[in-house]
Amino acid sequence: MKGKAVVITGGAQGIGYAISELLVERGAKVAVMDVQQAAIDKAVAGLKAKGGEAVGIAVDLRVGANCYKAFDQAVKAFGRIDALGNVAGVYVRKPILEITDDEWNEMLGVNVRGLYHMTVAAFKHMKEKGGGKIVNIASIDAWKAHPKNSHYAASKAAVVSLSRSFALEGAPHKIHVNTISPGPVATEKAKNAGWLPEEAAKVPLGRAADPVDIAKAFCYLASDESDYVVGVNLFVNGGYIIL
Ordered by start, the domain boundaries in the chain are 5-236
Distance CA 30, CA 94 (A): 34
152 catalytic residue (yes or no): yes
The rounded distance, in Å, linking the Cα atoms of 117 and 131 is: 18
Active-site choice (91, 152, 228, 240): 152
pLDDT at 146: 82
Instruction: Provide the CATH topology of domain 5-236.
Output: Rossmann fold (3.40.50)
Provide the pLDDT for residue 145.
87
Q: Using CB atoms within 10 Å of the CB of residue 117, give its burial: 0 to 12 exposed, 13 to 18 middle, 19+ buried.
A: buried
The pTM is what?
A: 0.96
Is residue 10 within 8 Å of 34, Cβ to Cβ?
yes
Adjacency order of strands within the sheet including 233-236? 53-58, 29-34, 5-9, 83-86, 132-137, 175-182, 233-236
pLDDT of residue 194: 87
Residues with pLDDT less than 70, the chain: none
The whole-number pLDDT of residue 111 equals: 97
pLDDT digits (tens, 9 = 90+) for 64-112: 999 999 999 999 999 999 999 999 999 988 999 999 999 999 999 999 9
**159 — phi, psi (to 5°)?**
-60, -45
Sign of CA dihedral 21, 22, 26, 28: negative
Residue 77 contacts residue 7 (beta carbons within 8 Å): no
Q: Check if the beta carbon of residue 166 is closer than 8 Å to that of residue 119.
A: yes
Which has the closest alpha carbon to 138: 237, 207, 1?
A: 237
Amino acid 185: pLDDT: 97
CA 2 to chain centroid, in Å, comes to 20
